Amino acid sequence: MHTEVYVSELKDRGYRVTGKRRDILDYMLSHDRYIGARELIDYLRQKYATLSLETVYRNLKTLRDEGMIEESRFEDHEAKYRISCQSSHHHHFVCLGCGCTTVIDTCPMPDLGMVPNGFTVVQHRFDVLGYCAKCSPK
């Protein structure tokens, strides 16, 4: 999808679409991987010299709460974000080095067996963490 689709959706939901919000979406759409807030702020400060980390986090929270981006935490415990997948249900291999993702077409949920008595599954996530060929420790 293109930035304008997300911008239109935000407007329809009553949000103002600032240049910063548009630039965050542009950057995330052009980098199909998990991205940390610090990487985003380094990129955005080229255009907005006085931009605060709080502004970036506030925009990321809005985009996450609206289901446009996904948030995950990995080994470094820093929240990282990527554009939410728009395709069918699937999971990912995620590189801990560069954040790139590769789709896993099958879902392991049915193979887990019985869900605990009284537990209602509302949603699930399954990511396999490791290193891609480019980032793999030698």
Buried b (16+ CB within 10 A) or exposed e, 72-94: bebeeeebbbbbeeeeeeebbeb
Q: Which of 32, 33, 7, 36 is nearest to 21 (CA)?
A: 7
Q: Would you list the domain boundaries of the chain?
A: 3-83, 91-130
pLDDT tens-place string over residues 92-125: 888 888 888 888 888 888 888 778 889 988 877 7
pLDDT tens-place string over residues 25-68: 999 999 988 999 999 999 999 999 999 989 999 999 999 999 89
Is 1.10.3720.10 the CATH number for 3-83?
no
User: What per-residue confidence (pLDDT) applies to 90?
Assistant: 76
